[in-house]
Chains A and B, each alone.
Chain A
Amino acid sequence: MFPKPIEKQPRAAQITYQAMLPLALLLWLGPLLAVALFSVKPAADFTNANYWGLPSSFEGAFNYGQVFFNSDMPRYLLNSFMITIPTVIGAVALSCMTGFALGIYKFKSNLWIFFMFVAGNFVPFQILMVPVRDLTLELGLYNTKTGLVLFHIAFQTGFCTLFMRNFIRALPFELIEAARVEGISEIRIFWYVVLPLMKPAIAALSVLIFTFIWNDYFWAVVLTQGAESQPVTAGITSFNAQFRAAYQLMSAGSIVAALPPVAMFFLMQKHFIAGLTLGAVK
């Protein structure tokens, strides 16, 4: 293990390390903790310039209540879920198939198609912006969740294909050969042999895509406008305009908006990290 395990070091070093950990964490999350503190303060604290002192009264319930019952925030949250979940399902489904095709079969254009997916995944959003917006307008899907979902599915397919194809490459190929010898059709091989083995990849990818899409801001701004279809990342700017200078409410709103992917991360931590770090080790 590197660096040298702390247990094998002098007692003083151990104590220093144990003391530094929480301090470092406090420093690292400082800006975020500040927002958490803001979100439980009463409005009066801000007018009295009591920014960093203890809250003069604990108003957490009231502030968060305002966010949930007196603003468009629940609407935005619901929209985010209605955009994120279909995207996850769509992108993972498409990429299971593309990944299977590119990972298992040898044909001439295989590597080129694969590289096309990879390269497309890296292009700047701005070069797609005008044509995608036009296409969405023409389809009559501008300012709808469907319009956003369709684009997200298509774009995420690039990254997901990269992920799935590499995962399938690492599976034991003998299994597929054995199935072929048995005379099992290719479609059944996909469904009954390969798909069950892909469960960890599907889990990892789902969590990742959930976070990516939940946190998307650019496309939400480009393809949607009002509270009826905007996800929470775009909605929070209108929310903040509504509660301008009400720092306690803006803080509470930000925390609510950030929570779902955070919850997802803590619940599915193992899969999340497995997904992010695929390829980080040999």
Chain B
Amino acid sequence: MTVAVDVPEQESWFHRNQQRIAPWLFLTPGLLFFSVYVIIPLFESINLSFYEWDGLGAAEYVGFRNYEDLYWEWVDRDAFYISLKNNLIWLVMYLLAIPAGLFIALFLNQTVWGIRLYKSLFFFPFVISQVVVGLVFTWFYDPTFGLLNEFLDLFGLGPLNVLGDERFVTYGIIFAGLWPQTAYCMILYLTGLNAVDPEQIEAGRLDGAKSWRMLWHIILPQLRPATFIAFVVTIIGALRSFDLISIMTQGGPFGSSRVLAYYMFEVALSEYGFRMGYGAAIAVILFLIMLCFIAYFLWSMYREEKGH
């Protein structure tokens, strides 16, 4: 222990306490940015939803009136009702990306020549911006030259104007969204399948388990982490849907393809007027819906953390 003699006696305060200070030193820049641009605006928006404000003049406190107006829109089956209903359709339909992704992953999980390139090309749609996906599908649905109608023509059907028809428009946009989302789920499952325990599969085969039973009882339980992430990203993606609607229909025809995210933007920042407070109230509703899922995700993560 002679080394101790060499150590200077007056170790600095920082040096002695560095294990307590260091984390805050490292956290400060990130926390600062995140607070200024995410946490504080979140609360500002909640506050703003109790005001009426055109973005320029003075804001006027109106209590719960924005929410009351939304309630009446709901009762009258007006824009808010349609947006919320469409959000629900998005949520349910978008989840189809998970089984579809699993299906393609199972199809591609082979080791034939060139399969790696196939996997990359199947993943392709996810890398492309939603703006381009939206354009591609707008043309795909085009009633005069779209591939869809060329196809329907073969069976003597059509022409069908998907994006111009209130009955189909939301489903048409969701179908476009499912394209990249399925690719995402596929890659999650391909990675998951790679890590499935081969011994259990062999054991299952020896027991004579048929493919379907094997998938259900042996493979899927091992794919649970992949399924969880696929679920998280798909829910978030469904509730965030904005780009495709903005590019493909701008909420139309007659507002029938609006979702809350788009409706909020329309109310607060477009030619329909700058009703910031009203927009904030819509955003708060969307946030509350998202919060149910956020709470569930955090709860799962919390259990996992404590499990370790």
Interfacial chain A residues near B48, Cβ < 8 Å:
130-131
Interfacial chain A residues near B247, Cβ < 8 Å:
217, 237
**Bound complex: CA of A17 vs CA of B111, how far in Å?**
12
Q: Can you pick out 16 interface pairs between chain A and chain B where the beta carbons lie within 8 Å of each other?
A: A2-B193, A28-B122, A30-B147, A34-B147, A35-B135, A94-B29, A100-B26, A115-B302, A126-B286, A129-B279, A131-B40, A154-B37, A211-B127, A217-B129, A254-B136, A280-B188
> Given A132-B37, A257-B129, A281-B191, A94 and B30 touching (CB < 8 A)?
yes
Contact B39 A101 (CB under 8 A): no
Interfacial chain A residues near B290, Cβ < 8 Å:
122-124
Q: Does A196 lie at the interface of the complex (its beta carbon under 8 Å from any beta carbon of B)? A: no
Q: Does B112 lie at the interface of the complex (its beta carbon under 8 Å from any beta carbon of A)? A: yes
Contact B109 A2 (CB under 8 A): yes
Contact A122 B294 (CB under 8 A): yes
Interfacial chain A residues near B240, Cβ < 8 Å:
124-125
Please report the total number of B residues contacting A with Cβ < 8 Å.
Answer: 104
The 0/1 profile, CB within 8 Å of B marked 1, for residues 94-106 of chain A is: 1101101110110
Interfacial chain A residues near B106, Cβ < 8 Å:
2-3
Contact B187 A276 (CB under 8 A): yes
Q: Which of B71-79, B160-168, B194-202 contacts A (4 or more CB under 8 A)?
A: B194-202
Contact A257 B131 (CB under 8 A): yes
Contact A98 B279 (CB under 8 A): no
Main secondary structure of the interface of B (DSSP, over half): helix
Contact A185 B18 (CB under 8 A): yes
Point out the residue from B18, B55, B287 that lies within 8 Å of A186, measured CB to CB.
B18
Nearest B residue to A180 via CB reads B19
Q: Does A246 lie at the interface of the complex (its beta carbon under 8 Å from any beta carbon of B)? A: no
The 0/1 profile, CB within 8 Å of A marked 1, for residues 262-291 of chain B is: 001100110000001001101110110010
Chain B stretch 237-272: residues in CB contact (< 8 A) with chain A: 239-240, 242-243, 246-247, 260-261, 264-265, 268-269
Point out the residue from A4, A35, A119, A129 that lies within 8 Å of B264, measured CB to CB.
A129
Contact B226 A261 (CB under 8 A): no
Contact A262 B127 (CB under 8 A): yes
**Bound complex: CA of A161 vs CA of B26, how far in Å?**
12
The 0/1 profile, CB within 8 Å of A marked 1, for residues 12-39 of chain B is: 0001001110111111011101101111
Contact B128 A261 (CB under 8 A): yes
Please report the total number of A residues contacting B with Cβ < 8 Å.
Answer: 96
Contact A154 B34 (CB under 8 A): yes
- From A34, A100, A107, A123, residue with most partner B Cβ within 10 Å: A123
Q: Does A190 lie at the interface of the complex (its beta carbon under 8 Å from any beta carbon of B)? A: yes
Q: Does A158 lie at the interface of the complex (its beta carbon under 8 Å from any beta carbon of B)? A: yes
> Given A124-B287, A127-B42, A237-B247, A25 and B27 touching (CB < 8 A)?
no
> Given A153-B33, A217-B129, A277 and B187 touching (CB < 8 A)?
yes
Interfacial chain B residues near A217, Cβ < 8 Å:
129-131, 242-243, 246-247
Q: Does B45 lie at the interface of the complex (its beta carbon under 8 Å from any beta carbon of A)? A: yes
Point out the residue from B40, B136, B283, B287 that lies within 8 Å of A32, measured CB to CB.
B136
Point out the residue from A123, A130, A153, A161 that lies within 8 Å of B279, measured CB to CB.
A130
The 0/1 profile, CB within 8 Å of B marked 1, for residues 110-122 of chain A is: 1101011111101
- From A7, A187, A258, residue with most partner B Cβ within 10 Å: A258
Q: Beyond the given A1-B111, A120-B38, A129-B45, could you list 16 further A-B residue pairs with CB under 8 A, ordered by the A residue number?
A: A1-B193, A21-B115, A32-B125, A32-B128, A97-B30, A101-B26, A105-B19, A105-B22, A113-B27, A124-B283, A126-B260, A126-B282, A128-B42, A130-B41, A240-B135, A281-B195
Q: Does A178 lie at the interface of the complex (its beta carbon under 8 Å from any beta carbon of B)? A: no
The 0/1 profile, CB within 8 Å of B marked 1, for residues 160-202 of chain A is: 0100000000000000000000000111001000000000000
> Given A113-B31, A122-B294, A127 and B110 touching (CB < 8 A)?
no
Contact B129 A282 (CB under 8 A): no
Contact A269 B120 (CB under 8 A): yes
Contact B145 A49 (CB under 8 A): yes
Interfacial chain B residues near A131, Cβ < 8 Å:
40-41, 44-45, 48
Contact A123 B38 (CB under 8 A): yes
**Bound complex: CA of A147 vs CA of B131, how far in Å?**
22
The 0/1 profile, CB within 8 Å of B marked 1, for residues 126-147 of chain A is: 1111111101000000000000
Contact B188 A277 (CB under 8 A): yes
Point out the residue from A110, A154, A214 that lies within 8 Å of B38, measured CB to CB.
A154
> Given A6-B112, A123-B287, A130-B48, A281 and B34 touching (CB < 8 A)?
no
Contact B36 A135 (CB under 8 A): yes
Q: Does B297 lie at the interface of the complex (its beta carbon under 8 Å from any beta carbon of A)? A: yes
Q: Does A224 lie at the interface of the complex (its beta carbon under 8 Å from any beta carbon of B)? A: no
Q: Does B140 lie at the interface of the complex (its beta carbon under 8 Å from any beta carbon of A)? A: yes
